[in-house]
Amino acid sequence: MLHRLRFLPGRLVQSIPVVFGVTLIVFFMARLLPGNPALALLGQHATPASVAALSKQLGLNTPIWEQYLLFVGRLFQGNLGTSLTYQLPVTQLVAQAIPVTLSLLGMALLLSLIISIPLAAVAAFKPASGRDLGVRAFTLLGQGMPQFWLGIMLILLLAVGLRAFPVGGYGTTAADHPYYLFLPALTLAITMCPTIIRSLRASIINVLGSEYIGTAKSKGSYGAALFRGHVLRNAAIPTVSIIGVNLGFLVGGSLVIEKVFALPGLGSLMINAIFARDFPTIQGVTLFVALFVVLVGILTDVVYTMLDPRVNLGAKEQS
Amino acid sequence: MTQPLLSVKSLTIGVRRPKGVDTIIVDDLSFEIQRGERFGIVGESGSGKSLTLRAIADLLPAGVEILTGSIRYDGVELVGMPTPARRRLMGPEIAMIFQEPMTALNPVIRVGEQIAEGPRRYLGLSKRDAMKLAIEMMAKTGIPDPVRRARAYPHELSGGLRQRIMIAMALSCGPKLLLCDEPTTALDVTVQHQVLRVLEQLCADSGASLAFVTHDLAVVNQTCSDLAVMYAGHIVESGRVKDVFRDPRHPYTKGLLDSAPDFDQPERELVPIPGFPPNLAARPSGCPFAPRCAFAVEACTVAMPPTVVVAPGHAAACIESQSIFEGVAA
């Protein structure tokens, strides 16, 4: 088992240039935004003189490559700079927001698995049956509804209408958080489910048709034991990579959803920072999102390797 | 007379077509397997021999079903039995070995665990004891270094070893009837021989009966005591292996024997059977072999010839079974 994870150190090293490249792009993209942070900070009372003074104070009047070098230099010291709007270190802001976003994503992933696995199984055990069509209708619906709209509908229905869940926010105690996160996580889960269900359904059908299922039946296995013991793990293998890719997209989706549900996560931080032209914060958040996507990619490969003993990524890379 | 271990009566397997005529693949098949008997079913691809075996194991592919007939195991009717009860027979009573040991083993589970699955379920063994039994079974099938091999995944083992794993798996719960679906076809000849020896030895030790499906006459000759020759879903000839081989009474059996090399008579020319098996969706009337048969007469195309006993324990479904091979040395 462990020898097949030998690809890990190499993969981690490879990801450094990727993350570095992202910082480069984001740094310059942020500066392509129309508007000036000094102007945004000073607001209505800005005079050309005060804007120039503040720009100088923020280091915005130096050539752009000098600003980049300064940014990268600080980065190596673990310093992402100071937020222009909050006047706090970006690392501190990001550190506060990361647990929110990560728990949101984790809960969304968990919910989508809880929804997807039974539905995919129900559909796959009897392809083209009524329940298969029902599941297909659900996946189409899930794919067709825009995330933000679905979020708003859930708020109206479950939070405003039934008062079963809070309208927004993150709660104050650790016990509150799952309760507050449920609706936004459900929103993300419902939009992620269709892809998982479709992939899982197809691979379950595939697995059910294979010879080793006949062998398992000839050993007396049937029903739930057969599904758990011989179907799910085999069928999960192709789906794992799909979940990996989708988790990357989900980060993008969480930006909007955090705004809809007023969650103080990376998404809200990012959107506020963009409106305020808060360059250091934009850069910091993007850096972490990029890091997250890269890590999810690596994690996907690890899970894949653990599930399928035939996979040996290390061997492939050497050849 | 004691009850046969397995008794198949008028078994018809096919594809049900709600609109139109059902496609019949196995037609009105009857045979019995006694305790301790080693029964071979021989026939070419598409003769329905594997489906018959799969029907006994409740492993018919989707869409194919038992249309009529009965399969009684130890006096108990299997056709129409609910799945849970049926599956409880699989392992401790009936076990199956498949043709392709690569695809028949779950690729993501260690082989030791795959063998231990049945014993854990049926013999109530702990994980540890079941694994011990699995390793013991692996040793019995002649797998060298079974402790280490039990931790291997199927793709890490050779075809011969994988088939030994299948045998160990099938015999782990001490079944009374072992169904073998061309277990050696995917193996090369030397390995084939070794695997057959192991299979025979273990069946003899445990007293299990064998239902052995193959297209290889040499394998039947080596392994089985009795055989049935299938053609287009019918048993055309059945009897003791040595009787049928010495004195075939159906032209198809004769054709099969003539088309296979015999190392005792290396000079003999191989005679192929002309033509192809019939299209099962459009069966010819009468004997299905008639279009390819050198001895066919007009009466052959009228009705399926009845099975007649040509000698004690030897039957053939050919209207000329008494006359055509008279004086012809097989």
B54 vs A contacts (CB less than 8 Å): 214
Pairing of strands B38-42, B94-97: unpaired
- Residue among B83, B100, B166 minimizing CB distance to A222: B83
* Element holding A39 (H helix, E strand): helix A37-42
- Residue among A214, A230, A233 minimizing CB distance to B59: A214
Residues of B with CB under 8 A from a CB of A: 54, 57-59, 62, 83-84, 87-92, 95-96, 98, 100, 103-109, 114, 117-118, 121-122, 153, 155, 166, 169-170
Structure tokens at B5: 């271990």
The secondary structure of B197-246 as a DSSP string is HHHHHHHHHHT-EEEEEES-HHHHHHH-SEEEEEETTEEEEEEEHHHHHH
A304 vs B contacts (CB less than 8 Å): none
Cβ atoms A268, A260 nearer than 8 A: no
Average pLDDT, chain B: 88
Region B262-277: mean pLDDT is 79
pLDDT on residue A315: 65
- By C-alpha distance, which of B319, B274, B275 is closest to B300? B319
**Number of residues in chain A:** 319
B119-177, pLDDT tens digit by residue? 998 888 899 999 999 999 999 898 999 999 999 999 999 988 999 999 999 999 989 99
A209 vs B contacts (CB less than 8 Å): 62
pLDDT band at B295 (very low <50, low <70, confident <90, very high): confident
B122 vs A220: CB contact, 8 Å cut-off?
yes
* Burial grade of A209 (CB within 10 A; 0-12, 13-18, 19 or more): exposed
A234 vs B contacts (CB less than 8 Å): 106-108
Cβ atoms B105, A221 nearer than 8 A: no
* Burial grade of B329 (CB within 10 A; 0-12, 13-18, 19 or more): exposed
Cβ atoms B168, A215 nearer than 8 A: no
Q: In this predicted complex, what is the ipTM?
A: 0.85
- Residue among A212, A218, A223 minimizing CB distance to B57: A218
A210 vs B103: CB contact, 8 Å cut-off?
yes
Tell me the C-alpha distance between B115 and B104, whole Å: 12
Architecture (CATH level 2) of domain A90-275: Orthogonal Bundle (1.10)
pLDDT on residue A93: 92
pLDDT on residue A9: 86
Tokens 């273990």 belong to B202
- By C-alpha distance, which of A191, A201, A213 is closest to A123? A201
pLDDT on residue B330: 43
pLDDT on residue B116: 93
Determine the residue of chain B that is closest to A225 in CA distance: B121
Region B75-84: mean pLDDT is 91
A220 vs B121: CB contact, 8 Å cut-off?
yes
Residues of A with CB under 8 A from a CB of B: 209-212, 214-223, 229-230, 233-234, 237, 307-310
Residue B105 DSSP code: S
Structure tokens at B236: 């055309």
A308 vs B contacts (CB less than 8 Å): 107-108
pLDDT on residue B1: 53
Residue B3 DSSP code: P
Tell me the C-alpha distance between B172 and B180, whole Å: 15
B98 vs A211: CB contact, 8 Å cut-off?
yes
The alpha-helical segments, DSSP class H, found in A79-175 are 90-125, 130-144, 147-154
Tell me the C-alpha distance between B100 and B98, whole Å: 6
Residue with the larger pLDDT of the pair B307 and A111: A111
Determine the residue of chain A that is closest to B179 in CA distance: A218
Structure tokens at B241: 């292996």
A221 vs B contacts (CB less than 8 Å): 87, 117, 121
B12-52, pLDDT tens digit by residue? 999 988 888 888 899 889 999 999 899 999 988 888 899 99
Region B254-278: mean pLDDT is 81
A215 vs B166: CB contact, 8 Å cut-off?
yes
- Sign, CA torsion B88/B93/B98/B103: positive
| Closest approach of B105 to chain A, Cα-based (Å) | 5
A215 vs B98: CB contact, 8 Å cut-off?
yes
Q: Where are the domains of chain A?
A: 90-275
pLDDT value at B327 more than 80: no
B198-251, pLDDT tens digit by residue? 888 888 888 899 999 998 888 888 889 999 999 988 999 999 999 998 888 888
pLDDT value at B114 more than 80: yes
A222 vs B contacts (CB less than 8 Å): 83-84, 87
pLDDT on residue B148: 94
Rounded to the nearest angstrom, the gap between the alpha carbon of residue B19 and the centroid of all alpha carbons in its chain is 32
pLDDT on residue B329: 45
Contacts (Cβ under 8 Å, ≥6 apart) of A270? A255, A281, A282, A285, A286, A289
- Phi, psi values for residue B238, rounded to 5°: -150, 155
Tell me the C-alpha distance between B65 and B60, whole Å: 7
3-state secondary structure of B42: strand
Q: Output the tens digit of pLDDT for each of chain A's 319 residues.
A: 667 888 888 888 888 888 888 888 888 887 887 777 777 777 777 788 888 888 887 777 788 888 888 888 888 888 888 888 888 999 999 999 999 999 999 999 999 999 999 999 999 988 888 999 999 999 999 888 888 888 888 888 888 888 888 878 888 788 888 888 999 999 999 989 999 999 999 999 999 989 999 999 999 888 888 998 899 989 999 999 899 888 888 888 888 889 888 899 998 899 888 888 888 888 888 888 888 888 998 999 888 888 888 887 766 544 3
pLDDT on residue A4: 80
- By C-alpha distance, which of B52, B32, B109 is closest to A219? B109
Contacts (Cβ under 8 Å, ≥6 apart) of A44? none
